[in-house]
Amino acid sequence: MCAYGQTFFLLCLALLCCMSGNAENLYDKMRGPAVAQKAEAWLSQMTLDEKIGQMTQVDITALRDPQHITTYYLGSLLAGGDSEAPDIQPQGWLKLYQEYQKFALQTRLKIPLIFGIDAVHGHNNVQGAVVFPHNIGLGATHNPALVQEAGKIISQEIAGTGMNWTFAPCLAVVQDERWGRSYESFGEMPDLVSSLGKAFVQGLQMPESKRPITIACAKHYMGDGGTTQGQDQGNTECDEPTLRKLHLPGYIATIEAGVGTVMISYSSWNGKKMHSHHQLITEVLKGELKFPGFVVSDWAGIDQLPGDYKSDIQESILAGLDMVMIPNGPGLVNPDGSVSLNNNYVEFITYLKELVQEGKVPIARIDDAVRRILLVKIASGLVEYPYGNPDCIQQIGQASHRAVARECVRQSLVLLQNRGQILPISKELSRIHVAGKSADDLGNQCGGWTISWQGASGQAISGGTTILQGIRQTVASTTQVTYTKDGVGVNGADIAIAVIGEPPYAEMFGDAKDLSLALDDITVIQNLKQAGIPIIAVFIGGRPRLIQDILPDCNAFVVAWLPGTEGQGVSDVLFGNAPFVGKLPISWPKAMSQLPLQPGQSTYEPLFPYGFGLK
């Protein structure tokens, strides 16, 4: 073949691979002979202490002394939702990462740390990073190509701080929106969660030159979204065919995409904690689904097993956990001078070593865990680039990244009502009055898992645009835009826009028995009503709320979910610069008594069904 012909052939092949999704994925790399040989070579040299170190993941707030990384051969660190670098600018996180990595590279075998962080809707602990809509909003786009692009950008922002592992995507299939983590789910249907989860992993794990692949983590295995009454960390009660039909497909799909890691759920299945579920972890995930990556626990997840800490360790490692996430450090001294046993990482290491020496945990199980961890580290390129590529820092929060997040916001908006075709709004009106607690609040727009674990109203993550700012940037220069939080002062306007909904929350703090709208939101609509002008409601929140009290008073009702930093995406669609394309990823109930509410139920009579969305 001539040189041109060869180039053409290679190009076609590359294109074909991309189109069929068969591009070499992480597992192909893990199976490559050089990678496998390197892992085996290390394994054959490692002492028991070095092996157990690899299985230990310590939160940065628990690490008593960075020297412990070297002393205990720690395999991993994480920064939990509230575990901050002293400086949360990109430079501060990069510095923190690189300083810790130095200690790992001072060990005999120089095996680098893999550093995990909850970059769940952007690199959301980093000041200045772009924040995407939470998964429920991405679910409303029903657009895997766009979600893949989002994943790719998030991986680039993670790489900007040197790191290469994120605890995302969450594959929960939310069955009951009383659950405080509903917004971490792409939606209530397993096929939607599978297609978007797979796309997200493909984006995150997209190979880039001169830096490691960002490793994704499918979580929380399994059944986290199906707990009774939506209780966080609760019990998922169903038979095995139902469990497999609803909660397993996301894992099958992300394993097809080569997901590197899986996190175990705090929840139980029919009363048995997932953290000790040998059948589901070892037999199903690693056996039947042939998952070759490694399994990590949730934050102190093994501590919830019955029995003392040593038995928790025994049970969970035997069930198939490869790495344990530990948020406690040693040396907590009680008032009486005794040192408290708080399930810290030194205890973990001590007990696991004893369990091996006592023959209670076979060395083959330890070797299997360590091999999996080493394979992921080597195949991802971490060993080659342990400090990442510092040049990537330029990419954090850049305009092209914000443009993609803005497109995600546009496509996530769901139009539930549009009486009299009031939308799109003309840009030439003489006065628009904007109201509501979430109109000018980046913290509310971003929700939980933003800068802090719970998120916070008003919390500024730099570089973003509030919905109010977006409206001001969109209308004609002759249009006056006024704003009051409570809607008072609306008189004289042509039209009112109320941006209302849920303030930020995360995990169990978001669990709710009553999803009625907050009183202050109802008051806003009452105040706006006085003017007798059309009202457009924009709902910010992680899940449906009961809206019948205000729906008759609103000419239009738009669900914007938790859009993140790019509030301009909302005004783009309100003013007709982009169309409404979003569709509900979750059924919208009429009353609490309907929950749990899902398509297919004989009594299915939602206010708006799954998939609803006006054009």
Q: Whole-number minimum distance, CB 165 to ligand BGC, in Å?
A: 11
C-alpha R_g of the chain: 25
**Is residue 82 involved in binding ligand BGC (CB under 6 A)?**
yes
Nearer to ligand BGC, 43 or 300 (CB): 300
| Stretch near ligand BGC under the rule CB under 6 A, chosen from 79-87, 144-152, 240-248, 337-345 | 79-87
Closest to ligand BGC by CB, 376 or 434: 376
CB closer to ligand BGC, 149 vs 298: 298
Q: In the complex with ligand BGC, which residue's Cβ is closer, 61 or 526?
A: 61
Nearer to ligand BGC, 59 or 157 (CB): 59
Closest by Cα among 611, 545, 600, 504 to 187: 611
Say if CB 390 and CB 544 are below 8 A apart. no
Closest among 110, 216, 102, 116 to 170, alpha carbons compared: 216
How do 268-269 and 235-236 pair as beta strands?
parallel
267 lies in the site for ligand BGC, by CB under 6 A = no
- Judge whether 440 counts as a catalytic residue: no
Helix, strand, or coil (residue 338): coil
Number of residues in the chain: 615
Torsion angle, alpha carbons of 418, 419, 420, 421, to 10: 0
Separation CA 445–CA 452 (nearest Å): 14
Q: Where are the alpha helices (DSSP H) in 237-362?
A: 240-247, 249-256, 278, 309-319, 345-357
Least separation in angstroms between residue 326's CB and ligand BGC is 11
Task: For residue 198, report the phi and psi dihedrals to the nearest 5 degrees.
Answer: -65, -45
Per CB under 6 A, the list member of 453, 505, 588, 610 interacting with ligand BGC is 453
Largest CA distance in the chain: 82
- Distance, first Cα to last Cα, the chain: 52
* Residue whose CB is less far from ligand BGC, 196 or 493: 196
Of all residues in the shown chain, the one whose CB is closest to ligand BGC is 80
Tell me the per-residue interface mask from 84 to 123 with ligand BGC, x by CB under 6 A, - otherwise: ----------------------------------x-----
Which strand ranges, in their side-by-side order, compose the sheet holding 414-418? Answer: 414-418, 556-561, 535-540, 495-501, 431-435, 480-484
- Report if residue 299 touches ligand BGC, rule: CB under 6 A: yes
Residue among 121, 198, 219, 277 that touches ligand BGC (CB under 6 A):
219
Say whether residue 80 binds ligand BGC (CB under 6 A): yes
Among 298, 303, 441, 572, binds ligand BGC (CB under 6 A): 298
Q: How far is the CB of 429 from ligand BGC (least distance, A)?
A: 44
User: Is residue 81 within the footprint of ligand BGC (CB under 6 A)?
Assistant: yes
Is residue 232 a contact residue for ligand BGC (CB under 6 A)?
A: no
Residues of 226-251 as b/e, b for ≥16 C-beta within 10 angstroms?
A: bbeebbbbbbbebeeeebeebbbbbb
- Cβ 309 to ligand BGC shortest distance, Å: 17
Residue 87 sits at the vertex; the CA angle it makes with 84 and 92, to the nearest 5 degrees, is: 105
Cβ atoms 435, 501 nearer than 8 A: no
Of 118, 176, 298, 322, the catalytic one is: 298
Cα(230)–Cα(236) distance, integer angstroms: 9
Q: Which is nearer to ligand BGC, 24 or 82 (CB)?
A: 82
User: Which backbone phi and psi does 294 adopt, to 5 degrees?
Assistant: -115, 155
Asked if residues 90 and 418 have their Cβ atoms less than 8 Å apart, the reply is no
Contact 333, 36 (CB under 8 A): no
Residue 212 CB, shortest distance to ligand BGC, in Å, is 20
The CB-of-219 to ligand BGC minimum distance in angstroms stands at: 6
Contact region for ligand BGC (CB under 6 A) — 80-88, 142-150, 403-411, 605-613? Answer: 80-88
The window from 15-23, 76-84, 123-131, 254-262 that contacts ligand BGC (CB under 6 A) reads 76-84
Of residues 157-176, those binding ligand BGC (CB under 6 A): 167
How many residues belong to the site for ligand BGC (CB under 6 A)? 11
Footprint (CB under 6 A) of ligand BGC, residues 470-509: 507
| Closest to ligand BGC by CB, 511 or 521 | 511
Three-state SS for 236? strand
Interacting span for ligand BGC (CB under 6 A) from 81-89, 407-415, 523-531, 532-540: 81-89
Listed ranges 32-40, 74-82, 284-292, 603-611: which one lies at the site for ligand BGC (CB under 6 A): 74-82
| Residues that are catalytic | 298
The residue ranges that bind ligand BGC (CB under 6 A) are 80-83, 118, 167, 219, 298-299, 453, 507
